[in-house]
Structure 1
Amino acid sequence: MAVNVRWTTRQPARVAAGGLLVVAATFIPGADSAADSQRAEISLDYTCEFPDSPHAVTAVVAGRFPEGGSVGRAVEPRDVTVDVDLPKAALDELAGLDATAVSAVVQLKVVHATSNESVTADWSGLAAPAQDIAGQDSLGLEAAGAVPTATFGSPGTATLSASDLTLALSPLKQDGSDAAPKAIDVACRLVDGVDGTLASLAIDGPAAEKPVEPTPGLPDLAGKLPPSQREKLNDARRAARAQGDTDLEPCPFPPLSIPTPAETYVAGFTNVKKLNSAARLGPAHLNVVLMKTYIADPCTDTFTVLSEAEFDYNGRRQLPPTQGTFLTYGFMPTTATMVLSQVGPPALIKSVSHNSDPRIPEDTTVTADFELTISDVRVNGEPLDVGHNCRTVKPIKQTLYAFGTGNPPSGYTVNRGGSMSGETYIPAFTGCGVDEDLSPLMTASISGDGNYIKMTQAPLCVLSNPDSPDCPAKKPIPER
């Protein structure tokens, strides 16, 4: 039976032609949308299963949606927000955990349907910043973020309808530390009989002329690129299609470069194994150059994209200074200011996508070199003068790993962001101390391997697409 509505599904195609289009769709956010748009705002009643008992919760879902579209062309919801109103009973549960504030990440299931077919998409990663709960009779958490596009396979009337949602609550204590438990997942079911229709779209028949066939379910975003980059991409498409008509395919195709500037923020935590504690990192601003190099390989059905990134804090290649508090040797309270400065070449972002897999999986590694400096050390409240040049004797070589899929959207992708993780080896210290050499003390206290790090990246703001809902760049909520 023919499928009349598709959610980033794939059809058999030669990777030579399809892979080049996937690159553009993966690394340049946004999609073509109708010139006219409709704003929707609906109030929905849910029953949410909190740890102690179920509570009635109201959520207001709002956004802008194209009034229509065409078969095979992605339509993009914009300016999406989900405003969740937590009742006092739910706030009392959180207060019982010694929480004085709460943040949230919202996942909303949205049904894309035509007259005889439907699929369910996950609008995940909608983040709501922390709000105080003390003394509140109810609390509104407004979550926002980019959501996936949808592609319909037959003409007619299509609808997008909100369904069940999940709240990932993060309760916080007065001092900003995590309450226990630090994460609460709350499943919410739409009350029976509630109409969750967000938008109705008139989908026209297929265009009469298709000079370049887009990869099914993914937006053709060449029009978002500056003219010089757009022409490079079109040239590459034509070359790929021509190669795809031959019996022998080169493996891989010659590298192509379409440098595209973007920016984002990252934030996270790093554990210091010897101190049995963690320090918060960021949020840190990151300048990114996408698609410095990409290589399509039809023999392995993959394409590899190399991008570069550099941190920017007040014009310096570093993360913002962070202050950590630890128990040195398990009993001595110690505070210190730490700075991670990027050294050497820009960070390398390497993403490998598997074009033949219908999930559209993407493996990503990020590698960079950092110098760690320590200052403003206090032990049991007393200053310990380590001077202004207390640093690791050699750069920290950091590699973070991440994995995600495009169908359905999950995990980490360079475009959509998400969490990356890895382990860090902290080298020995040098230059510590003024009147005496404290470098051995710092090395014994901090240096070593097995230091876990987890960073969360916000969606990319691509500078050539300033109207994207991801622009200006947002600051993510770090995950532990």
Structure 2
Amino acid sequence: MRGTRPTPRPSRVRARGAAIAAFVALAPLLPAAAAAAGTLKVDTALPYVCTLPSGQQPVTVRITAAFPERATAGEEIRPTDVTTTVELPAAAVADLTALKAATVRAETRLAVDAAQGGRHTEAAWSGTAQPVGVPAEGPLALTTTGDAPSLTTDTAGDLVLTAGALAVALAPSTADGAATAPASLSLTCVPGPDAEGGTPLATIPVGTDAPTTEPGPPPTPSTGPSSPVPSSGLPLPSLSSDRTPTAGPGTASGTSGAPTDPRADRPEGEGRTADGPDAPGTPETRPAAPPCLTEKPTPMSMSAYITGYSNVRKLNGANIIPVSCVLVEQGQPEFVMKPDGSIHLLTPSQGTLSYQGRKQTPPFKATFLTFGFAPTTATLVLEQTGPMTIDSDVLIVFPDNLSDTYVRVPLVLRVLDLKVNGTPLDVGPSCRTEKPLTSPEPDPAKYPGDHLVLLGKGKLVNGTDAVGYLLSSGGPLTGEVTIPAFKGCGTKGESLDRLLTASISGPGNHVKQIQGQACNVGVEEPTMDNCTEDLQPRKVPKPER
């Protein structure tokens, strides 16, 4: 993924902790009324060590915030009045003055761990500041303000919030308002040696409204969230929580059009019995789908099903892309400040098609009219011939966070058998496109070669559900593909290459792929709403034209 010397890249701030389990994962946006008996105010100064151009320096980070003094299970816990003040030492100021910086604008992103009863999730507190003057020497305090995602937990017990890694992006400017060279500085900060596990910010007691005077029967295990879950904000690394809203029209999981009760259309043995549907409180059995197992999962592993349609422009028709398994290994997310001052969260991942141990889709049939009159049926597979790269880019803006995800994969189209007017034609064992399918590539210098390009666009609306596509929750990806000429088709001296090439090959074929919600295979306690008991994706999407 990753000649001539490349142009300088923006400075990066690497996120700390486990990478998106998955995206990374988008937490549910649970509605709840904030009802607290009082306010718990936090104002604390914490020791950090930041990596500056001049080297590692001790830095004091002062955090202020207000929380409800206590909460009830199921209620929203929203931090308010959040500020982050980074007190830069004289050495950091010298780094700025060396750039001839007269002013500097700061943006911060603080990782906050929420723990309850041994379960953890991570949220991000983001802040921005107006430009401030850079002194000739001495320390400099930069104070940012911004939103912090709310938390919701359905379990009673103390909720402990702990400050973790801090990313600081600095955009210095000269006296005439021009950008310095470089245009930005990125600081990676971690808690000091005496607080390597983080520094507690607040402890919020979470109770329950249930009667406590008389003991009752043991509670029924819940299939809902049992760890604190961020209910708004960007998707961030999470150790135990990766839940997305149930699919529906306009949501991100790409299953719109499904019946209200997915079990209603299933035969016996697929999520229902002769006597009725699944028992309440248990995850539904997924619809029939090919196996999708990750043999040696890592903490970064996830899997998902895909399906969709691909137009064949020459035939004025469309072929269905069968339900196929994709295994994904997520990369480490990074923060990047672009020259225009915008901040992006970039996450590279790698994917692999998986069917019976091979990197391909299941075989599928396509029926069309060759030359407009001859009914032709072919059995096809798409074979992956190189790395599948998945690059997610979240533009951090308020109130919406905009996401673009590019999926790039080299695929050849192989023909297994062919019938014309019901008469079988022997295509032989090596009938395939002469090279991978190709798409217009927006960055050919970085991504050379022939490959399919699909783009998924999403929006994380502050305080509401995600819309469009995210790697963790799925959704639609679209692109355009050129089908190359065929080779190796036919036997006994009778070549079918020209027949298939004339019938199918050509540019301008629209592709719409739907990805289902991912199963986070590698997390310590996968969400059973998203995964089967044997850790396969539970959500099976339906193709959409």
TM-score by length of 1: 0.54
- What is the CA–CA distance in structure 2 between the aligned matches of 1:206 and 1:25, rounded to whole Å? 24
Q: How does 1:59-458 map to 2 (within 5 A)?
A: 112-114=32-34, 201-202=74-75, 212-213=111-112, 214-215=124-125, 216=147, 218=149, 238=165, 240-241=167-168, 249-250=184-185, 260-292=300-332, 294-297=334-337, 299-345=341-387, 347-396=388-437, 397-407=451-461, 408=464, 409-435=466-492, 436-458=494-516
- What is the CA–CA distance in structure 1 between the aligned matches of 2:78 and 2:313, rounded to whole Å? 60
Deviation at 1:287, TM superposition (A): 0.3
Name structure 1 gaps, 5 residues minimum: 1-14, 32-74, 78-110, 117-151, 159-199, 222-233
- What is the CA–CA distance in structure 2 between the aligned matches of 1:21 and 1:454, rounded to whole Å? 35
Deviations 1:258-302 (A, max 9, x none): 971111110111111111111111210110011256343364311
Q: Helix, strand or coil for the counterpart of 1:240?
A: strand
Residue 20 and residue 355 in structure 1: after superposition, are their counterparts in 2 closer, same or farther (change >3 A)?
farther
Contact 2:167 2:186 in 1 (8 A): no
Residue 360 and residue 251 in structure 1: after superposition, are their counterparts in 2 closer, same or farther (change >3 A)?
same
Larger radius of gyration: 2
Residue 261 and residue 26 in structure 1: after superposition, are their counterparts in 2 closer, same or farther (change >3 A)?
closer
Aligned residue in 1 for 2:192: none
How many residues in Structure 1 have an aligned counterpart in Structure 2?
A: 296
- What is the CA–CA distance in structure 2 between the aligned matches of 1:423 and 1:259, rounded to whole Å? 34
Given residue 238 of structure 1, which amino acid in structure 2 is its aligned partner? A
> Which one has a larger percent helix, Structure 1 or Structure 2?
1
- What is the CA–CA distance in structure 1 between the aligned matches of 2:490 and 2:314, rounded to whole Å? 21
Residue 455 and residue 288 in structure 1: after superposition, are their counterparts in 2 closer, same or farther (change >3 A)?
same
- What is the CA–CA distance in structure 2 between the aligned matches of 1:337 and 1:246, rounded to whole Å? 60
Residue 374 and residue 17 in structure 1: after superposition, are their counterparts in 2 closer, same or farther (change >3 A)?
closer
Pair 1:469-2:534 in alignment: no
Q: Helix, strand or coil for the counterpart of 1:27?
A: coil
Deviations 1:148-190 (A, max 9, x none): xxxx9757878xxxxxxxxxxxxxxxxxxxxxxxxxxxxxxxx
Name structure 2 gaps, 5 residues minimum: 1-10, 37-65, 85-109, 113-123, 126-146, 153-161, 174-182, 190-236, 238-297, 438-450
- What is the CA–CA distance in structure 2 between the aligned matches of 1:288 and 1:415, rounded to whole Å? 10
Contact 1:155 1:203 in 2 (8 A): no
Residue 217 and residue 328 in structure 1: after superposition, are their counterparts in 2 closer, same or farther (change >3 A)?
farther
Instruction: Name the % identity.
Output: 32
Deviation at 1:414, TM superposition (A): 1.1
Aligned residue in 1 for 2:25: 29
Q: Helix, strand or coil for the counterpart of 1:274?
A: helix
Contact 1:295 1:305 in 2 (8 A): no
Given residue 475 of structure 2, which amino acid in structure 1 is its aligned partner? G
- What is the CA–CA distance in structure 1 between the aligned matches of 2:480 and 2:337, rounded to whole Å? 31
Aligned residue in 2 for 1:186: none
Contact 2:327 2:352 in 1 (8 A): yes
Deviation at 1:20, TM superposition (A): 7.0
Deviation at 1:454, TM superposition (A): 0.8
Contact 2:381 2:414 in 1 (8 A): yes
- What is the CA–CA distance in structure 2 between the aligned matches of 1:250 and 1:438, rounded to whole Å? 60
Contact 1:398 1:424 in 2 (8 A): yes
Residue 23 and residue 395 in structure 1: after superposition, are their counterparts in 2 closer, same or farther (change >3 A)?
same
Residue 461 and residue 305 in structure 1: after superposition, are their counterparts in 2 closer, same or farther (change >3 A)?
same
Residue 17 and residue 449 in structure 1: after superposition, are their counterparts in 2 closer, same or farther (change >3 A)?
closer
> Which one has a larger percent strand, Structure 1 or Structure 2?
1
Given residue 74 of structure 2, which amino acid in structure 1 is its aligned partner? L
Deviation at 1:18, TM superposition (A): 11
Deviations 1:232-272 (A, max 9, x none): xx99x63625x669998526989xx9971111110111111
Residue 383 and residue 217 in structure 1: after superposition, are their counterparts in 2 closer, same or farther (change >3 A)?
farther
- Cα RMSD over matched residues? 4.1
